[in-house]
Structure 1
Amino acid sequence: MSVVVTIILTVQMLSALAMIGLILVQHGKGADMGAAFGSGGSGSLFGASGSANFLSRTTAVLATVFFVCTLALAYFGNLRPSSSGSVLESAAAVAPAASAAPAAPAAPASGAAQIPAK
């Protein structure tokens, strides 16, 4: 399943980058007046209607792909095996072992002087 998550994450990143690029290329609503005074819109690659239709539709498709990838990543991220409990239950099982009484101190080396306990 790790391969599937990696593929979905890659598609999400690529769609996000493509959306950023398309949004930056699009003209605002105020740019239409300048196009009316001879900016050569009829001879463009996308026809006389301009690129607004194509770019806005492509942006909408990429936004849908991004949204679907986000939902899929959220779904796969929340999948848990049925045998394991919650994170808190597994932490509670580990905590008593970690807080057990410390081991007895190691015996000093044979050449070291021993200090008697008072």
Structure 2
Amino acid sequence: MYTVLVIVQVLTAVGLIGLILLQHGKGADAGAAFGSGASGTVFGARGSANFLSRATAWLATVFFAVSLALAYLVHGEREAASVIDRIQPAAAQTAPAEASSAEAPPTQAPAVEASEPAPIIPD
């Protein structure tokens, strides 16, 4: 199912790119007045605008629907919500092993005698 949706997603994206590149921008009308040949296209002077814009809207709808379906499928497959959630169980498993080690006695910091206060350094 996941593979089929990814294939549909890629084909839809390529189709959207092609349809968007085929469409004329809003500035193309001014260029057509000076003989750019827009009236001699396959769809005619205004015939392609309706077909291409509707096809683009449908492909965009399919693209978003497949994106939501893929997000829903991937959400159910993940094992942990975040990186921290994945690290905490691993740290909990290693902590008792380190604490049960009786070979190494705990080290303590040497006691510091407070006979003389630390010097204050001006800024």
Q: Give 1:98's aligned amino acid.
A: T
Residue 17 (str. 1) matches residue 23 (str. 2): no
**Which of the residues 91, 98, 103 maps onto 1:95?**
91
Q: TM-score, normalised by structure 2?
A: 0.60
**Which of the residues 49, 54, 76 maps onto 2:51?**
54
Aligned residues: 98
Q: Give 1:24's aligned amino acid.
A: L
Q: Which runs of 5+ in 1 are unaligned?
A: 106-118
Q: 1:30 Cα deviation (Å)?
A: 1.4
Distance 1:97 1:61, change over 3 A: same
Alpha-carbon distance in structure 2 between the residues aligned to 1:77 and 1:40: 45
Q: 1:60 Cα deviation (Å)?
A: 0.8
What is residue 25 of structure 2 aligned with on the other side? 28
Distance 1:85 1:40, change over 3 A: closer
Distance 1:15 1:86, change over 3 A: closer
Alpha-carbon distance in structure 1 between the residues aligned to 2:10 and 2:80: 32
Residue 44 (str. 1) matches residue 8 (str. 2): no
Q: Which runs of 5+ in 2 are unaligned?
A: 104-123
Q: 1:34 Cα deviation (Å)?
A: 3.0
Alpha-carbon distance in structure 2 between the residues aligned to 1:80 and 1:34: 52
Asked if the contact 2:38–2:45 (Cα under 8 Å) also holds between the matched residues in 1, the reply is no
Instruction: Give the percent of matched residue pairs that are identical in Structure 1 and Structure 2.
Output: 51
Asked if the contact 1:44–1:50 (Cα under 8 Å) also holds between the matched residues in 2, the reply is no
Q: 1:59 Cα deviation (Å)?
A: 0.9
Q: Give 1:44's aligned amino acid.
A: T
Distance 1:40 1:94, change over 3 A: closer
Q: TM-score, normalised by structure 1?
A: 0.62
Distance 1:22 1:96, change over 3 A: same
Asked if the contact 1:46–1:54 (Cα under 8 Å) also holds between the matched residues in 2, the reply is no
String of CA shifts for 1:69-92, please: whole Å, max 9, x gaps.
0110111112259xx88673x754
Alpha-carbon distance in structure 2 between the residues aligned to 1:5 and 1:45: 38
